[in-house]
Amino acid sequence: MIIFGTRSKNIGSEQAEVTCGHCESNNSIWVYIYRSYFHIFWVPAFPLWRSSASQCSHCKQVLEEYQYNPELVKADKLARKNAKTPWWMWFWLLALLVLVIAISLTSIFTKM
C-alpha cells in the first residue's frame, strides 16, 4: 500500500498597499502564496503549482485569485516574485538522484 497525494504549504506573504473593496480599509490586505506539492508517504516528492489568496486584516474577507481586482493582481505578482520554493519540496527527486549517482559510482569502482 502506497500513500500518496498532494498538499499545500504557505511559502510567502506580503502586505499589499491596496484598499479593501469590502470594508474600505487602507493597507490592511495580506497576500498569501501557497505551493502545492506531490507527496509519497507524506514526504514531499516535487512541487506542483502555486496559488494565492488575500485576506483583509480588518474585516477578514478572503479572496481567491479569480476574484482579484487589478490592484491585487499587481500585489500578487510581487508576492509571487518574492516567494521561493523550499528545497525540501524536492526531497524524493533529490533522494533518487543521490541513489542513481551512488549506484553509478559503485559500478564504476567495482569494474576496476
Share of residues in the chain with pLDDT > 70 (%):
99
In the 8-state DSSP scheme, what is residue 57?
A: T
CA angle 76, 64, 79 (to 5 degrees): 15
Residue 45: predicted pLDDT: 87
Grid cell at residue 65: 485569485
Domain boundaries, the chain: 4-111
- Determine the average pLDDT of the residues in 17-24: 86
**Across 32-61, average pLDDT:** 92
% of the chain beyond a pLDDT of 90: 53
What is this structure's pTM? 0.80
